[in-house]
């Protein structure tokens, strides 16, 4: 596509996203040879109508010299004439809209500044209405009484997700180790160690674990689609774990992408879309957890030097066989143009009940030992084993971040895991403890009552023992 047509599309990007009906164009663009079926499927998987429209508007720029005219022709055939007129004239669609008459709104009056109150006073003392000062020039229509501020929610009152279903939910592990020669990606030696650890760990955490190995891009999408079509009504949670090569791609939600063994990638934001409230209704309001062991890009972090008093622990050395799962930054068609940024920011959704944990910071490599597995999974498995009884998920992930950050590959390179957290509550895994016997009396601690663990343990320690 020539630059003139690209600029027309970019100038009209915001309104294309707002007005375009992509579903009506798919068959026409397929018949005209603008897109293949796989490309159409990828656009459809972008999510909402706006997301699909945005993805289509980006991808059309990469489809050759006739793509623009065929796109306009398809808009004409589907009756989207306002967009046709804007694209043919080469002007932003917004200039075709008549300006709305100015709206005269009353000037808002400033509210009095109230000094902050102590938390304890908020809890103990009754809250009385606050009167406006008599110097207020114009009283509000509802009178001079202001509504009292709501009490601040204390941390100890934050709710926990329900996590006591048996089993708790499904856990899908996709482990890509052996890549096709045409992909030009190296085999991921040691990934089977990661997979075995995570399979055992989430089985112990009361999940139904399914492992799929060496999937191509389309097979990854099919596996995720099959998971989204399951009935999760009887379960409390769902987990997806991706072990593969990765790369950095432009995004408007979750960064990064994961490769299939055929060398084609699936963006992480598409992976999460399969299980969102729109595509998987039986998981609405339930936590959906994604763990990504893959590089976020090709940069290697050499860290920074800290003074001795700032060091919390001596640096750990990596193994001699440390490898990365890095692929160079993608230069594919989903790059975000400057003209698209305002719309992308304005239309960003707030995904609820989703957490995506990355093995490394976006843009950087993720290290894997061929003998012991990846730093991230090894640490994640150990922290979960030691702390799932008492700590919530976000706290445990901070422990993982801290430990991995102290490793060094080849005595030089560092790694920093992190998470995109859109959970609304605390999440405690329902980790079953083995019962113990004291004086031939079986005793077990019910983990669903975590606030009683320390108390119960103290009672157990005080039980007299027979010699």
Q: pLDDT digits over 416-467, tens only?
A: 888 899 999 999 998 654 444 445 544 444 444 444 444 444 444 444 444 3
User: Which residue did the predictor score with more confidence, 229 or 93?
Assistant: 229
Give the start-end residues of each E strand in 184-252.
207-213, 237-243, 246-247
User: Of the residues 94, 110, 144, which one is the last residue of a structural domain?
Assistant: 94
- Sorted by sequence, the CB contacts under 8 Å of residue 445 that are 6+ apart come out as 433, 452, 453, 456, 457
Q: Whole-angstrom Cα distance, residue 327 to residue 293?
A: 13
In this structure, which long-range contacts are made by residues 63-66, counting pairs with CB atoms below 8 Å and at least 24 apart in sequence? 63/1, 63/34, 63/35, 64/1, 65/1, 65/2
Q: Does 88 share its domain with 191?
A: no
Q: Does 309 share its domain with 208?
A: yes
Which range in 11-25, 101-115, 300-314 is most confidently predicted, on average pLDDT? 11-25
Q: Does 329 share its domain with 457?
A: no
pLDDT at 107: 58
Q: Does 455 share its domain with 400?
A: no
Q: Does 357 share its domain with 459?
A: no
Q: Whole-angstrom Cα distance, residue 454 to residue 460?
A: 10
φ, ψ for residue 356, nearest 5 deg: -115, 115
User: Which of 331, 348, 189 is CA-nearest to residue 257?
Assistant: 331
Q: Does 453 share its domain with 374?
A: no
Q: How far is CA 266 from the centre of its chain?
A: 14
| One-letter-per-residue 3-state SS of 445-467 | CCCCCHHHHHHHHHHHHCCCCCC
DSSP H helices in 138-208: 191-204
Bridge-partner residues for 11, per DSSP?
Answer: none
- Spatial contact of 208 and 247, defined as CB atoms under 8 Å apart: no
Tens-place pLDDT, residues 170-225: 999 999 999 999 998 989 888 899 999 999 999 999 999 999 999 999 999 999 99
465 in a domain, yes or no? yes
Domain of 314: which CATH number?
3.40.50.1460
163 in a domain, yes or no? no
User: Of the residues 94, 113, 129, which one is the last residue of a structural domain?
Assistant: 94
CB neighbours (10 Å) of residue 151? Answer: 11
150 in a domain, yes or no? no
pLDDT at 238: 98
Residues 255, 258, 262, CA angle at the centre, nearest 5°?
A: 150
Residues 162, 165, 167, CA angle at the centre, nearest 5°?
A: 135
124 in a domain, yes or no? no
Q: Whole-angstrom Cα distance, residue 268 to residue 455?
A: 42
Helix (H, G, I), strand (E, B) or coil at 277: coil
Q: Which residues are catalytic?
A: 245, 295
Helix (H, G, I), strand (E, B) or coil at 419: strand
Q: Does 380 share its domain with 442?
A: no
Give the start-end residues of each E strand in 326-375.
354-358, 367-369, 373-374
* Structure token pair of residue 35: 């897109």
Q: Does 352 share its domain with 439?
A: no
* Structure token pair of residue 410: 């080849």
Q: Whole-angstrom Cα distance, residue 410 to residue 249?
A: 27
The total domain count for the chain is 3
108 in a domain, yes or no? no
Q: Does 465 share its domain with 321?
A: no
Q: Does 78 share its domain with 177?
A: no
Residues 362, 364, 366, CA angle at the centre, nearest 5°?
A: 105
For residue 457, the enclosing domain spans: 433-467
Helix (H, G, I), strand (E, B) or coil at 443: strand
Tens-place pLDDT, residues 26-39: 989 988 889 888 88
User: Which residue did the predictor score with more confidence, 154 or 354?
Assistant: 354
Tens-place pLDDT, residues 270-283: 999 999 888 899 99
Which is it for the CA torsion 356, 361, 362, 365, positive or negative? Answer: negative
Q: Does 191 share its domain with 325?
A: yes
Q: Does 222 share its domain with 362?
A: yes
């Amino acid at each position: 596509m020539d630059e003139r047509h690209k600029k027309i599309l970019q100038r009209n990007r915001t309104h294309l996203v707002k007005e375009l009906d992509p579903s009506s164009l798919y068959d026409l663009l397929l018949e005209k040879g603008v897109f293949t079926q796989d490309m159409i499927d990828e656009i459809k998987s972008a999510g909402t109508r706006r997301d699909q429209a945005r993805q289509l508007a980006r991808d059309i720029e990469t489809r050759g010299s006739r793509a623009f005219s065929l796109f306009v022709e398809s808009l004409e055939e589907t009756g989207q004439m306002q967009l046709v007129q804007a694209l043919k004239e080469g002007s932003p669609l917004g200039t075709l809209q008549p300006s709305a008459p100015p709206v005269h709104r009353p000037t808002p009056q400033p509210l009095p500044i109230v000094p902050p109150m102590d938390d304890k006073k908020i809890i103990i003392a009754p809250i009385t209405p606050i009167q406006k000062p008599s110097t207020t020039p114009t009283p509000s229509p509802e009178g001079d009484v202001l509504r009292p501020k709501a009490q601040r929610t204390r941390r100890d009152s934050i709710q926990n997700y329900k996590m006591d279903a048996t089993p708790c939910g499904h856990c899908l592990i996709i482990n890509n180790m052996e890549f096709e020669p045409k992909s030009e990606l190296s085999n991921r030696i040691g990934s089977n160690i990661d997979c075995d650890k995570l399979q055992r760990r989430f089985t112990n955490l009361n999940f139904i674990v399914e492992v799929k190995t060496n999937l191509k891009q389309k097979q990854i999408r099919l596996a995720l689609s099959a998971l989204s079509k399951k009935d999760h009504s009887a379960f409390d949670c769902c987990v997806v774990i991706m072990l593969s090569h990765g790369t950095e791609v432009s995004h408007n939600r979750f960064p990064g992408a994961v490769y299939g063994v055929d060398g084609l990638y699936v963006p992480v934001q598409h992976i999460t879309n399969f299980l969102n409230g729109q595509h998987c209704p039986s998981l609405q309001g339930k936590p959906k957890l994604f763990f990504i062991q893959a590089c976020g890009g090709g940069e290697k972090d050499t860290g920074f030097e800290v003074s001795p008093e700032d060091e919390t622990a001596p640096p750990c050395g990596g193994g001699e066989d440390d490898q990365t799962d890095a692929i160079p930054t993608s230069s594919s068609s989903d790059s975000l143009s400057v003209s698209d940024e305002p719309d992308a920011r304005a239309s960003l959704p707030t995904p609820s009940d989703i957490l995506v944990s990355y093995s490394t910071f976006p843009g950087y490599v993720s290290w894997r030992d061929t003998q012991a597995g990846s730093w991230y999974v090894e640490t994640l498995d150990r922290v979960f084993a030691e702390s799932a009884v008492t700590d919530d998920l976000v706290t445990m992930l901070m422990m993982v971040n801290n430990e991995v950050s102290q490793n060094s590959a080849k005595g030089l390179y560092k790694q920093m895991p992190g998470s995109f957290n859109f959970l609304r509550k605390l999440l405690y895994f329902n980790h079953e403890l083995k019962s113990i016997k004291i004086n031939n009396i079986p005793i077990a601690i019910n983990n669903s009552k975590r606030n009683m663990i320390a108390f119960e343990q103290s009672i157990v320690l005080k039980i007299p023992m027979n010699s």
